Amino acid sequence: MYGIHPALPSYLAQQWCCEEPDDHPQQRSAAATALLDAYAALGRWLLQQIISGDAAFAFSVLDRQKRTLGNLLANALDTGQWNQAQAIAQPLNEYWDTRGLYDEARGWVDRAHMALETTDGTPPLVDDPARELWLYFAYSQANRQLTAHYLDDAERTYLDIRDMLQAHPESPQQLLRLADIYHQLGRVAELRGRWEEAEEWYRQALTIKEEFGNRSGMAGSYHHLGIVAQFRGRLEEAEEWYRQSLAIKEELGDRPGMAGSYHQLGVIAQRRARLEDAEQWYRQALTINEELGNRPVMAMSFVQLGLLAETRGRPEEAMEWMVRCVTLFDEFPRPMTERGPTQLARLTAELGIDTLNESGIGVTDHPLPPEVQNFTAPGTGQDEK
């Protein structure tokens, strides 16, 4: 793949129009349809690679093709070609999430809803591709609200989707989708610290997934039942859930899921003072997420590796990990950096602003931005001119 000069497309289009003045509109329309179909096929392939193939390669393709994919997604939404729109939107959605491009993703959700809903905001009610696309965009947006800890918004969106699904006749597909919603409502309860409620949602979801042999979904339920057990102090039970989840993710080749299991097994090992094991698990998780470019999850690994270094009596190393965390994104602070900013401020109070600056240069090759310095040591950073 290679880039082209931005003036070349318009030049070629003008030449085409001059060479075929009579048939040009029809030819251009046919070419646009063919291009959309071709990129819809590419989108399906990219999604398959992200799920169970070479995800790192898929994301590198998306890095180069994102503008063309975006233009074609807009065309599909404007012309009501819902199947093609979903095929293109799905890999783009994975890309937005792994790169932390939540504002861009929200803009596309708004655009899709404008194309799909009636003037009074009613979503499609007929079981057709338009309804499928609406559900997909609504679900993906709720997941981002959850990641950003906008829990009331996320819960409201999940309940809206649940109500829409329950209004339709029961089928295996409908039940499996309800299982996904139950699982996500469990995550909302989990983030609120309502462990009994979370476990109830997860077990409802797991019952359906086991009934239909949905192994990928079962792995997700096992993982989060492990989190519930972990926060209730039942560490042996938590480790067993995580290992069951990991076993499924490794037959399936689900590398992002494997990274999540590695991370949580690291947390369990750290809680049990098995520090070498914990570091090994964290580094396995980090290796995968760095290959995928999954910055929000990389931030979690950086924080845990920093806390682990501090436990081992290496505060300067701990600070370096926290600096890596907070400099993952251009904007500071970001919700995706988890506890990184507050941990960095605490370490700066202990080690001093000079150590912070040395760490910043060591990690990024240039001084930390003023907003980072002012957050960690108020009054030390200079405003940008």
Q: Check residue 298 and give its pLDDT.
A: 92
Q: Check residue 371 and give its pLDDT.
A: 83
Cβ pair 329, 295 in contact under 8 A: yes
**What's 300-312 look like in SS3?**
HHHHHHHHHHHHC
pLDDT in tens, 12-22: 989 998 988 88
73 in any annotated domain: no
Q: Token pair 């994975």 is at which residue? A: 94
For 325, the domain range is 294-385
Domains contained in the chain, number: 1
Helix axes 151-166, 129-147, angle to 10 degrees: 150
352 in any annotated domain: yes
Cβ pair 71, 92 in contact under 8 A: no
168 in any annotated domain: no
Scanning 99-213, the segments in alpha helix (DSSP H) are: 102-116, 129-147, 151-166, 172-191, 195-211
The DSSP result for 235-290, as a single string, is HHHHHHHHHHHHHHHHHHT-HHHHHHHHHHHHHHHHHTT-HHHHHHHHHHHHHHHH
Please list the ranges in the chain whose pLDDT falls under 70.
335-336, 338, 379-385
pLDDT in tens, 60-79: 999 999 999 999 999 999 99
Q: Check residue 274 and give its pLDDT.
A: 95
343 in any annotated domain: yes
- For Cα atoms 200, 204, 205, give the angle at the middle one, nearest 5 degrees: 120
pLDDT in tens, 189-248: 999 999 999 999 999 999 999 999 999 999 999 999 999 999 999 999 999 999 999 999
90 in any annotated domain: no
330 in any annotated domain: yes
372 in any annotated domain: yes
Q: Check residue 380 and give its pLDDT.
A: 60
Percent helix, strand and coil across the chain, each to the nearest 5: 80, 0, 20
150 in any annotated domain: no
What percent of the chain shows pLDDT beyond 70?
97
